[in-house]
Structures are given as structure tokens and as C-alpha cells.
Amino acid sequence: MTQQKRIDKILQAVKARVQEEVGALLGTVFALTDESYDRVSKEDAFADLQGKQISAEMDITGEVSGKACLLAGIKDAIRLGGTLIMLPLTELGEVIGREEYSEEIEDSYGEIANIIAGSFTKDFEEMYPKSCRFVRKNQEKIVPAKVEIDSAAPVENVQLYRVSWAMSLDGTSMGNLIVLLPAVTFELEEESAAKSAQPAAEENTESTSDTNVSGEVEEVVAAQPDDAAPVKIDFEKQKKRIDRILDECQSRLQNEIGGLLGVPAVLTDIRNYFVGKEEFFEDRVTGKQIIADMEVVGDAEGNSFFCASIKDAVHLGGVLIMLPPTELEITVSEEEFGADAQDAYGEITNIISGVYTAVFEEQHTKKLRFIKKGLTEVQPAQVDIASAEPIPDALYYVSSLSLSVDGKQLGKVQMLFPAALLELFPPGHETKPVEEKPSAATPQTAAVHDENTEEEPVNRSSESVEKSQVNVTQHKAKVDKLLGLCQKKMQEEVSNLLGTDVKLRDISNKVIDKEGFFFDEVSAKQVITTLEVVGALEGKSYLAIDLRDAIRVGGTLIMLPAGELESVVSDEEFGEDAADAYGEIANIISGVYTAIFEEQYTKNIRFIRKDLQQVTPMKIEIESDEPIPDENYYQSSMVLEIGGSQYGKINLLFPLSLIELEGLLAVNEADAGESLPQTARSSDTDTDAHERSQKVTSERESLDILIIGDDEATAETMVSTFLDLGYRVKKLSFKDNIHDYLPGELKAVYLVMHEVNEQVFGSVIKISAACNLPLVAAGPGWTRSKVIKAVKYGVRDILLTPATKDQIKESINSNLLEMAA
């Protein structure tokens, strides 16, 4: 029998004895389950603990000697000690909640610790070949993060053998009972030493957090004063410590918020991630936000920020001031964040800052206090990234939580900590120092503002094409995000108006000119509604819908009988009543775009519904200004579905200049020039491109089929079909860098699209220039001219969608057979 097996067998006997003797002492069922035994360093042993602990030191005497300790969470120690002195259940619950470790409970838990030490003594004396006794010494309350590793308390800094048992009392689950034994005392240090000798490179560290940084370096030197020696901080260990603290904050927050509100508050789905200011406001939040500024003082100073949507802030404040359910629903819907709601929500954020203060003071290596200052209402799309408002431009570590109150699911609440404040220095990432927020009232700030307003416009001609493209792409992403919000709100508002379920699916946004729209995009008669744009920008946008669909929605609004409705749609009778009814729907649509763009666009603009007219696309004179001027537009297209039946498309046309997307024309021209093979590009010499290509090399070399496009439904069907056939598949969007995967070991490339347009043909050109693989284009609405164009640019086969699995199988089999031949 090996030494470890001998010790583990003794520990199993100890576990059974502890269960029996502690249960007898308490007069109830005490159970120890889920045992685990492992070697661990002192640093790791205490890093793995969460929350305050009660440590009872145990001296080992006899033929062997050393120092061990018994650890239990403070709440578990209070429960055990309180049970022993027979506290009433209600009082016991209150004492546990307050973590009130009184002298009386300390004495009673000490008796239990004596019993446990005695159990170790009895079984080791009976079963271990060398005589030894465990003598319980002093006990103390400790915070694991603040244990001095190099000290001898509560155990020496040596290799330890960790014993862990999960506790339950009278059926109630508790935490773990931990015993740390000196490995050398029981001749258990050899295997541990062998393990520690393994190269660090062989260790794999996993994290459940959403980390947006990468690197291989394990240690980063934290910034120190000139007169201090640099302190090496292990990034992974520090991140693990912070994540444990944030887990504890989650638990306490829901208890404190629920206690304040008087209803259950549940915080779930904790995700901790790194993010910059720009990415946070562009990708991590939507809609108006309320940001609570929390000044941090103590061993480190700075500002953290608690962020919640305005609707959730209104809801929380309304619950606190006990608004009736109907009134609460109305105030949330209308986002009425008045004085009462602000005061109430301010109290809640005070509680939140108190929780973070309590947990960080107890468990962080440095004492940090969070003091709630002001509340700021923020529109993410209007945030100036370069300014220090509402938060400085720095790297943040964000703790994101999903919130529900009294059974109602709300959104996410997020706490933003400057990464440097928590001494989190991600490898390969240069962390900016925490910036102090300047006072808005200082003369210096005002002077800077005045100077900026008098500056001449920046001449961008000297900037690189790549930077211009990035800026345009970022602005396009913002606009697309707003159009997606409009889509969702529009289907909700139109559904309410019509009294039936309306869906607007498959939104697609792209650049198009007047000729392309009327000759390629639409064919049936259209109803064009002019939407005048006023505000910070002025001009006209246009709402276009098939005449029959306009009649249908108008007829639905005036509640025409089903038979009569189908008759007037078939006859295209767009009478006065139907026109007036459709006009009301156009009013609703213009109101939706006004609401979203007023709140979230960088410029405050409104859409006012003006006249509507019928047009026949093939009779349009391109050179005229009717029904729309001849210029480039940004088209937002959605498929209309009413009551489960699919109809035509609703199109919104925005002049590119109106939504500041003229730069897309230059980007598209640059993209069109990317027809050279990937190996001929000068960008290949760029370090980032080289590193990126290295990351995808292994994945690229293990793929059989690449699927590229925007038709998710068809793409998923293809993935499923190809996987069933044993092929290795990768799915990309048109926005992804497809050159990273070409040609590799690919056997075929599939383009899947909602509609056959210029974006698709541009992708065909890029793929054909980079490889000679079978290229299959899958989409709806193929015409003879489009097929000829596709084949001319390099498409080998056409697949009409929607397609069945059998049709997809036939396509891949025929193309691979042709390739083999």
C-alpha cells in the first residue's frame, strides 16, 4: 500500500467518526460527503477559499510533528455553534445573515473543533504506524486574501495535503470543511515535488470568464513607484482572486437588494470580461443607460461605474417606492426617471456600493471603499469616446449580472472597474492608468472646449485608407444596430395597431442607387411614402412597399372582411379609405424611426410622414427627382409577415449623406480592388496579419467545406447535412476575413444569401481570385442575367433556395465528383 492510500484510508475513517461524534453532540444529523484529497501550496489553498473563514489551528505532536489547521466558512461555523447552543431557527437565521460571530458562538464552535481534533487523534493513533496526536489550539476569524503566505499562521508555508468534505446539517447543505495537513509530516511531499517540477508550459489554465485579451506571458510587472521594487503579479492568479470576490459580491448583492425592496431579487449568469470604453458602449449596452459613479478610496484610488438600463433603474426605483403594478408598468414603458425614481434608485445604488465596499475590505489584499456619487443618464450612441465622460477611456474589468425582481426578468446590470485598479494587467495588453474625471465647471475645461469649437475641420486626406475604412465600418455598425432596433419596435407597434401578429424578418442593409432599387430590387407596383427629416440633419427618406401589401395592411386596419380584403388586394384597389389607413401605419413607422434615432443616433433627427404615391418601377425615369432623387441610398429591407403568412418586402431608403455613410462608397471601391491573390498583398508583411493567419492555420487545414453568407437558415441546414456526410465545416459571414481560410484543404465553398446582389458578386470575385475550388452560389430569385454574371465571375454551380437536405447532398456530391474527375 502506498503512503497516500494509507493516509486516505485513515482520513475516510476520520470522516465517519466526525460525522457520528459531531452529530451526537448537536443532536441532529451531520453529514460529510464529496470528499477530496490533494496536494496544494499554502498560497493556492487560501486562494481557493471564498469569504471569511474560521481557522482553528491544530498542533501535531508525538513521533511526528507539525502544524495543521481546520477551516470552515464563518456562516457554517455560526450555524454549527448556534445549533449547539440551541438558538431558535429565526434568530439563528438572522445571526448567520449578519455573520455575527459572538463570543458565545465562538466557544460553542470551539467545542466542535475539539471533537474534530479528537477524531483525528483517535483514528491516527489506531491506524498510523507512528504515534501522533492532534491538539486544537487558538481559533481566529480570517480573510483568505489577506493571509500572509510567508508567515507560520495559520499553517506554515510548506506543501500541504488538503482534506475537503462537503457538510450538511439536518438536510441543509453547507460549505466545505477543510483540513490542511503538512505533507512532509506524513511523508506525502515526494509526489507533490515531482508535480511542481513539471514545466510551467505544460499547465493548462481554464477560465469561465469572457476575456477579450490574449497572450502567453504568465507574469506582468505592476507599475510601482520609482523607489519601490517591482512586484510581479501572476495575471491568472490575480484574475482568479478577483473573480472569487465578485462571486461573493453577486451573492450579497441579491440579498441586500432583495432586503431593501422587500421582494426577491435574483442575480444570475455572472460574466466577467475585459472591455474598452468604445466596445462597451457600442456592443455591450443598448438603449438609454443610468450610470452611477462610484469613487474608490483607500489603498488605491479611482472611479468605478455601475450601469443599468433606464427601464431597469425606473423599475427598481418604482418597486422601492411601492408604485402600483399598473403605474409601474406605465412609468417603465415611458422611461419616466423623475425625481422620486432617481432618489429611490439612488438608495439602491448606495446599497450596491456598500456591498462592494464590504466584500473588498474583507477579502481583497488592498482595502478599497466605494462611495456612490452622482447618477448620469447616458445615450450609448452619443458617447464621445475621447472624452472622460461618462467614464474615462481605459481598459475595464466588467462584472455583468442578469437581474430579476419578484419573478420578473429585467436586463443586465454591470459594474465597471478600471483594470489597473484591480491590478489586472492582461498579458500583451498595455493597460492605461486610471484617469481622474475632470470637473465640468473648471475654466480650463471651458477654454479647451472653446478652442476646439474654433478649430478648422480636420483634413482627413492625410490619414490612411485603412483608418478611414475602420471609421466608416464602425459608423455603419452603429447605424445597422439602430435599424435593427427600429425593426423590432416597428413590428411591435404595427402589431398593436393592427391587432394581429406582424413580423418583420431577415433585415438586410446595403448601399444601392435609384436605378438598382427600381430595376433590380422591386418589380411590382410600389407605394412610396416620403419621410421628411428635420433636426441636426435635414433631407428626405423614403418608405417603399408593394401596392398589394399596402392595401392589405390598410384593409386589415379598417377591418375589412377576409373575402373582401382578398378581393381588393387582388384588384389593387387602393381607395381613399385604404390609403388613409395605410397612411396611419406609415405615421407609426415614422414615429418609430424618430424615437430610436432621437434617443440613440449621434445626431438628433426626426422623421415626419409626408405624401405617399403609387409608382410603377419600370416607368421610373432615373434622371428625374421623382419619386426619389437619383443618388446613392442606404437600403434597409425587411420581409413582411402578417398572421403567419409571408408577403413582400418593406424598404426604407436613406440618402447616404443623411446618415453620414458616404464613406461606404470609397470602402466598396477599395474592396472591389481586392482581386489579387492573398499572397500578393503587401499587408501580408504586417505583423498583425501574420499572427492572425497563424491562429487560423490549424483550423484552416482541417476543413473540407466553407460556408459564407447571411442566410442563417440555409447555412444551418447545410452545416447539418455536411456533418451528417462526415465533412468538416466552417460557417462565416460576409464580414469575416475569408482569405484566412483559403485555400487550405478545402474541397468546396458555398455562398448562401438572402438575395443575389452586388455584395455577393464581390465575394465571388474575391474567392475566385484566391483559389480554384468549386464555388456554389445558393440563393433565391435567380434570373438569367444574374446566373450569367455569377458564372462569369467564377461560380461553378447554382443552388436555388430554400433547398432540402437531399438537394444539398446532390449538390455537394456532383461538385466533388466533378472535381475528382
Q: Does the bond joining 802 to the residue before it have cis omega, within 30 degrees of 0?
A: yes
Side-chain-side CA neighbours of residue 609 (13 Å): 20
Q: Mean pLDDT, the chain, as a whole number?
A: 83
**Which DSSP letter does residue 735 get?**
T
Lowest model confidence (mean pLDDT) among 168-177, 198-207, 329-338, 560-569: 198-207
The rounded distance, in Å, linking the Cα atoms of 527 and 547 is 5
pLDDT at 51: 81
What average pLDDT does this structure show over 172-200? 75
The rounded distance, in Å, linking the Cα atoms of 14 and 7 is 10
Task: List all residues 6 or more positions away from 306 whose beta carbon is below 8 Å from its beta carbon.
Answer: 291, 292, 294, 349, 352, 353, 413, 414, 415, 416
The rounded distance, in Å, linking the Cα atoms of 192 and 195 is 5
What average pLDDT does this structure show over 787-812? 87
The rounded distance, in Å, linking the Cα atoms of 304 and 292 is 9
> Other C-beta atoms within 10 Å of 362: how many?
19
Task: Dump pLDDT digits (tens) for 89-110.
Answer: 999 999 998 889 999 999 999 9
Q: What percent of the chain has pLDDT over 90?
A: 51
Domains of the chain with bracketed CATH: 3-197 (3.40.1550.10), 233-428 (3.40.1550.10), 479-668 (3.40.1550.10), 673-820 (3.40.50.2300)
> Other C-beta atoms within 10 Å of 175: how many?
19
Lowest model confidence (mean pLDDT) among 225-229, 312-316, 467-471, 662-666: 225-229
**Which contiguous run of DSSP H or E holds residue 78?**
helix 74-84
pLDDT at 451: 38
pLDDT at 727: 87
Residue 175 phi, psi (nearest 5): -85, -160
Whether the Cβ atoms of residue 419 and residue 427 lie closer than 8 Å to each other: no
Label residue 558 by pLDDT band (50, 70, 90): confident
Task: Dump pLDDT digits (tens) for 284-295.
Answer: 898 899 999 999
Residue 580 CA from chain centroid, whole number: 44
pLDDT at 699: 54
The rounded distance, in Å, linking the Cα atoms of 270 and 412 is 10
The rounded distance, in Å, linking the Cα atoms of 214 and 477 is 24
Task: Dump pLDDT digits (tens) for 671-694.
Answer: 544 444 433 333 344 444 444 444
Could you give the 3-state DSSP secondary structure of residue 172?
A: strand
The rounded distance, in Å, linking the Cα atoms of 792 and 431 is 50
Label residue 821 by pLDDT band (50, 70, 90): low
What average pLDDT does this structure show over 188-202? 50
Starting at the edge strand that comes first in sequence, how are the strands of the sheet with 729-732 ordered? Answer: 729-732, 705-709, 748-752, 775-779, 797-800
pLDDT at 818: 65
The rounded distance, in Å, linking the Cα atoms of 78 and 795 is 73
pLDDT at 357 over 60: yes
Task: Dump pLDDT digits (tens) for 255-273.
Answer: 999 999 999 999 999 999 9
**Which contiguous run of DSSP H or E holds residue 82?**
helix 74-84
* pTM strictly above 0.85: no
pLDDT at 194: 43
Give me the residues paired with residue 166 across strands.
33, 176
pLDDT at 245 over 60: yes
CA nearest neighbour of 360 among 352, 126, 573, 65: 352
**Which DSSP letter does residue 606 get?**
E
Where do we find the cell 431579487? Answer: 265
Q: DSSP assignment of 139-160, as one string?
A: EEEE-GGG--TTS-SSS-SS-E
Task: Dump pLDDT digits (tens) for 63-97.
Answer: 999 999 999 999 999 999 999 999 999 999 999 98
CA nearest neighbour of 38 among 179, 233, 150: 179
Whether the Cβ atoms of residue 262 and residue 405 lie closer than 8 Å to each other: no
CA separation (Å) from 208 to 73, 235, 363, 429, 548?
Answer: 24, 15, 21, 20, 52
pLDDT at 666: 66
Q: What percent of the chain has pLDDT over 70?
A: 84
**Which DSSP letter does residue 263 get?**
S
